[in-house]
Chain A
Amino acid sequence: MKILTGNDLKTGAVVWWDGSGWSIHITEAADAGEEAEAILATEEAARRVNSAYAIDAEQTENGPRPAHIKDRVRALGPTVRPDLAVPAVKKVGWDWVI
């Protein structure tokens, strides 16, 4: 699947396209499919997201899992600071990242 991620323009928070808006939880990321480029262009132009891009991910029982480790770290937070992890995705566990 193709999912979209970027940062909130004002707060900088890592966000994921959930089909109608941007969520801080990767578990809510939606498959953007063929629409990816169009959504990115519209959302950047409307300044609802900053520096967004499309990535490959696989659907798992815990939700979408990005193909690249960098985006998995983005999804959870620094692996060396579990206390700062994004709350709703903590349940997937650190094994999910590496």
Chain B
Amino acid sequence: MYKYDHYDQAMVDARVEEFRDQARRRLEGKLTEDQFKPLRLQNGLYLQLHAYMLRVAIPYGTLSSMQMHALADIADKYDRGYGHFTTRQNIQYNWIKLEDAADILADLAKVEMHAIQTSGNCIRNISSDQYAGAAADEVVDPRPYAELLRQWSTFHPEFAYLPRKFKIAVIASEKDRAAMRLHDIGINIVKNDAGELGASFYVGGGMGRTPMIAPLIRDFVPLNQMVTYAEACLRVYNRHGRRDNKYKARIKILVHEMGAEEYARQVEEEFAHLLDQGVEPPFAELERIRSFFQPPEFGTGLTEKADRSDPDFALWIDRNCSPHKAPGYVSAAISLKPVGGIPGDATAAQMHLMAELAKGYSFDECRVTHAQNIILPHVEIGRLHELWTKLDEAGLGTANLDNIGDIIACPGLDYCSLANARSIPVSQKISERFASNGKGELLGELKLKISGCINACGHHHAGHIGILGVDRKGTENYQLLLGGSEAEDVSLAKITGPGFNEDGIVDAIETVADLYLERREDGERFLDTYRRLGMDPFKEALYG
């Protein structure tokens, strides 16, 4: 894992004092709320539906056990004993006091964490593959490149007041587990024919009210020019992105209106100029960062077979464990989606437990996924049963990764001031319905994603099944979407037709699930069947 040196530490320490001073000036009336708002947002502090909300950055989703313990302590000390893991691999707390915020940032700084740029119209926390450094299929660990970009984007003086927020994801495998092409910039670290590493840049993807899949802007940027290229991408956006309409201000609109080719041409022009400006870090810095991400000392001669005699455990292995590059290991997913639970929420006690398990079973490391679960990246197969037993006792042993119970849901109208409808109760009813009727397991991989408004924090456009909550004459109404994917087979879901009320949407999900079970062919996932059949039979089943 990356470790701060005295420079990194000084930066976050100074940020704590800067925010303490800004909050003081707000409380003293030297800053109006309008002036204070972007400052607090760039420190992750929102004014939400019930209180201030603090979003803490978890760069590329990686946490040490000490950091996870610290997050639990914050939940207990300053909040109401729980936190919510988000689709940007961050954590947010819902009941924060402005007068405590600087103290929380100080507690975070003690464990090399912060809330810098977790909101606001700036470059946000950089996300990555939750299996980085462990995945059997990766070209290289993508996190050093994400860390380099984290440093570059932190307090970037030119890009703090962009037209709109800016999200970057970095992956390094053909399989996309980070919704890379639905980011403002998606970077895939690839190897060219000569065996050299470089970065493919996809620019102008996103969800929100105008979902777009990012086009490839450049297929190979040498690693010793990657930061400069990113700088060029951002500069063209900062200069030409729309500022007349906040709903058209994301880079996806610029790339779409300008055309990907013209955007790429302007980036190349800026890039050529910036190459002479000393923007690129010394290559030794990338080497230094890489040294923190060396594989742990994996054991050898370990068993590669688990005892599957306990059917519940065997199911959990099949559902929640992923192949690892080291023999005798897997990556194990801790589902934060218990049946009827609140997706992504974890209590302080659960966070402490996950921290202990990361220490005991996974070389002191865990990961947050964009699907709001926690991964223990390096677990010995021979110790899985022991681990699962402990998880199960704490209500963390649900075997549902990527199936219909593993729902991504935004906080919705229960917590969010932008939402039009509640997301969480719908997700609870769906997970309960499919657990009790036994169909959840039959359905296999089925990614269901719920947003409580058009801003799409719940990624509904990218769900095999998506649900969008809307306000219909003052009551909550839910639109159904089918056919999206955030993975390497990326696609945007389409609306089926008129919306449903809360109970109606649960029935509608069961209707489309039943149609799939009836019509699927060998080995097809829900998404595959939908793609083969098209929308019509599903419409017919729903609306008759």
| Chain A residues in 8 Å Cβ range of B474 | 67-69
B96 at the A interface (CB under 8 A): yes
Chain A min CB distance to B110 (Å): 24
| A 36-79 to B, binary, CB cutoff 8 A, 1 in contact else 0 | 00000000100100110000000000000001111001100111
Q: Is the CB of A78 within 8 A of B415?
A: yes
Q: Is the CB of B27 within 8 A of A70?
A: no
A78 to B495, CA, bound (A): 28
Q: Is the CB of A51 within 8 A of B47?
A: yes
| Chain A residues in 8 Å Cβ range of B99 | 10-11
| Chain B residues in 8 Å Cβ range of A79 | 414, 422, 425
| Chain A residues in 8 Å Cβ range of B26 | 9
Q: Is the CB of B413 within 8 A of A12?
A: no
A80 to B27, CA, bound (A): 32
Q: Is the CB of A12 within 8 A of B428?
A: no
Q: Is the CB of B49 within 8 A of A73?
A: yes
Which single member of A47, A69, A80 contacts B428 (CB below 8 Å)? A80
A6 to B255, CA, bound (A): 39
Q: Is the CB of B51 within 8 A of A47?
A: no
Q: Is the CB of A50 within 8 A of B47?
A: yes
Chain B residue with the shortest CB-CB distance to A67: B474
Q: Is the CB of A80 within 8 A of B424?
A: yes
| Chain B residues in 8 Å Cβ range of A68 | 474
A84 at the B interface (CB under 8 A): yes
B80 at the A interface (CB under 8 A): yes
A80 to B502, CA, bound (A): 14
Q: Is the CB of A13 within 8 A of B98?
A: no
Chain A interface size, under 10 / 10 to 19 / 20 to 34 / 35 or more: 20 to 34
| A 1-35 to B, binary, CB cutoff 8 A, 1 in contact else 0 | 00000010111111000000000000000000000
Chain B min CB distance to A50 (Å): 6
Given contacts A68-B474, A78-B415, A79-B414, A12 and B29 within 8 Å (CB-CB): no
| B 15-55 to A, binary, CB cutoff 8 A, 1 in contact else 0 | 00000000000110100010000000000000101111000
Given contacts A47-B27, A69-B413, A11 and B49 within 8 Å (CB-CB): no
A23 to B98, CA, bound (A): 18
B359 at the A interface (CB under 8 A): no
| Chain A residues in 8 Å Cβ range of B425 | 79-80
Which single member of A11, A70, A73, A81 contacts B51 (CB below 8 Å)? A11
Chain B residue with the shortest CB-CB distance to A98: B476
Chain A residue with the shortest CB-CB distance to B45: A12
Chain B interface size, under 10 / 10 to 19 / 20 to 34 / 35 or more: 20 to 34
A73 to B417, CA, bound (A): 10
Which single member of B52, B342, B414 contacts A73 (CB below 8 Å)? B414
A70 to B80, CA, bound (A): 22
A78 to B342, CA, bound (A): 11
Chain B residue with the shortest CB-CB distance to A84: B80
| Chain B residues in 8 Å Cβ range of A9 | 26-27, 98
A88 to B26, CA, bound (A): 31
B97 at the A interface (CB under 8 A): yes
Chain A min CB distance to B542 (Å): 24
Which single member of B33, B94, B97, B413 contacts A70 (CB below 8 Å)? B413
| Chain A residues in 8 Å Cβ range of B95 | 12
A77 to B342, CA, bound (A): 15
Q: Is the CB of B27 within 8 A of A74?
A: no
Which single member of A7, A47, A80 contacts B414 (CB below 8 Å)? A80
Q: Is the CB of A78 within 8 A of B414?
A: yes
A10 to B27, CA, bound (A): 8
Q: Is the CB of A12 within 8 A of B414?
A: no
| Chain A residues in 8 Å Cβ range of B80 | 84
Q: Is the CB of A12 within 8 A of B49?
A: no
| Chain B residues in 8 Å Cβ range of A84 | 80
| Chain A residues in 8 Å Cβ range of B50 | 12-14, 74, 77-78
Which single member of B29, B424, B476 contacts A69 (CB below 8 Å)? B476
Which single member of B52, B342, B475 contacts A12 (CB below 8 Å)? B52
Chain A min CB distance to B411 (Å): 8
A50 to B47, CA, bound (A): 9
Which single member of B29, B33, B98 contacts A11 (CB below 8 Å)? B98
A73 to B418, CA, bound (A): 13
Chain B residue with the shortest CB-CB distance to A68: B474
Chain B residue with the shortest CB-CB distance to A7: B47
| Chain A residues in 8 Å Cβ range of B413 | 69-70, 73
A84 to B94, CA, bound (A): 11
Chain B residue with the shortest CB-CB distance to A78: B414
| Chain A residues in 8 Å Cβ range of B52 | 7, 12
Q: Is the CB of A10 within 8 A of B98?
A: yes
- Most B Cβ at <10 Å: residue of A11, A13, A80: A80
A73 to B476, CA, bound (A): 13
A81 to B84, CA, bound (A): 13
- Most A Cβ at <10 Å: residue of B49, B50, B342, B428: B50
A68 to B421, CA, bound (A): 11
Q: Is the CB of B51 within 8 A of A14?
A: yes
Among residues 40 to 83 in chain B, which have CB atoms less than 8 Å away from a CB atom of chain A? 47, 49-52, 80
Q: Which residues of A pack against B, CB within 8 Å?
A: 7, 9-14, 44, 47, 50-51, 67-70, 73-74, 77-81, 84
Q: Which residues of B pack against A, CB within 8 Å?
A: 26-27, 29, 33, 47, 49-52, 80, 94-99, 342, 413-415, 417, 419, 422, 424-425, 428, 474-476
Q: Could you list 16 further interchain pairs (A-B, Cβ under 8 angstroms) beyond the known A7-B47, A73-B413?
A: A9-B98, A10-B98, A12-B47, A14-B50, A50-B33, A50-B47, A69-B413, A70-B49, A70-B413, A78-B414, A79-B422, A80-B342, A80-B422, A80-B424, A81-B342, A84-B80
Sample 18 A-B pairs with CB under 8 A, ordered by A number.
A7-B51, A9-B27, A10-B97, A12-B47, A12-B52, A12-B95, A12-B97, A13-B50, A47-B29, A67-B474, A69-B413, A69-B474, A69-B475, A73-B422, A74-B49, A79-B425, A80-B414, A80-B425
